Amino acid sequence: MPEFDIAVEGVSHIYKSKDGEVVALEDVSLEIPRGTLFSIVGPSGCGKSTLLRIMLGFLRPTNGTIHVAEERRRQGVAYIQQSAPLLPWRTLLQNASLGLEVRWRLSDVRVNALREEIASFGLGGFEDHLPGTLSGGMRQRVALIRALESQPALLFCDEPFAAIDFVTRLDLNTRFKDLCRVRRLTTVFVTHNIEEAIFLSDIIVVLSPRPGSVVKTYTPRLSISPTDAVESRKSPEFGELFAQIWNDLRPRGGR
């Protein structure tokens, strides 16, 4: 019986505005076991980000309940936003260190480790640059470092690799999967990139177009090099799964 870090039960969410109501999520239920990489895949506007924000506690769902394991929350939470915002008045290093700062874990040793981490992500030499001078891909990597270096137990990601070029993205995918596995992170990963979800995830949940509800759940098992974003694509399961999820996501009716 696996332990669940996050359990979502019958969650619906309705955005109210002057122009009327928009139902973003409808009766979503899912359970996320400890230490898994859990992807939420769906078309744009299906409520993926809303679901993530509900799990983070930023939004209160209109209906339904949400449970997050308290001891895991206390161990640490990190969130990588889609837009990867950096504080414009802080340098790259100072942005990357925010996670350590708010948890009072800043020490010379950790700062040095952080510098090495920054260099290993190909950002060496930019430590003292302000975000205004960094490219979108660089900013996203800083947001990634900021989240990972805060040593979280729960990691929430909203399209963290969207602004990164394809080659770097594959490389980061490999590293990301490795880090999440080694640190036994429970990761909730929102993406609309099917291939990324297949490579990274232990579990994939496919959401329908708005209002989002769970269409299907998959547990990818890649037989060839599951730890390498490029090599794993040679697994026969990769193509099959891609076709299945593609089929789930394809707009129906009309065409």
Q: Which residues bind to another protein, rule: CB under 8 A?
A: 56, 58, 73, 76-81, 83, 85, 87, 89-91, 93-94, 97-99, 101-103, 106, 108, 111, 128, 146-147, 150, 152, 156
Q: Residues 203, 2: contact at Cβ < 8 Å?
A: no
Q: How far is the CB of 144 from another protein (least distance, A)?
A: 13
Phi/psi class of residue 196: alpha, beta or left (left: φ > 0; alpha: ψ in -120 to 50)? alpha
Find the farthest-apart pair of alpha carbons in the chain and give their distance in angstroms, rounded: 61
Query: Which residue lies nearer to another protein by CB, 49 or 213?
Result: 49
Sign of the CA dihedral with 66 first, then 71, 72, and 77 last: positive
From the CB of 136, what's the least distance to another protein, in Å?
15
CB of 85 to another protein, least distance (A): 5
Tokens of 254: 């009309």
230 Cα distance to chain centroid? 20
CB 91 within 8 Å of CB 125: no
Q: Least distance (Å) from another protein to the CB of residue 119?
A: 16
What are the tokens at 231? 């090599």
**Rounded least distance, CB 37 to another protein, Å:** 18
Least separation in angstroms between CB 124 and another protein:
16
Tell me which H or E stretch contains 250: none
Residue with Cβ nearer another protein (71 or 128): 128
Contact 125, 49 (CB under 8 A): no
The burial class, CB within 10 Å (0-12 / 13-18 / 19+), for 223 is exposed
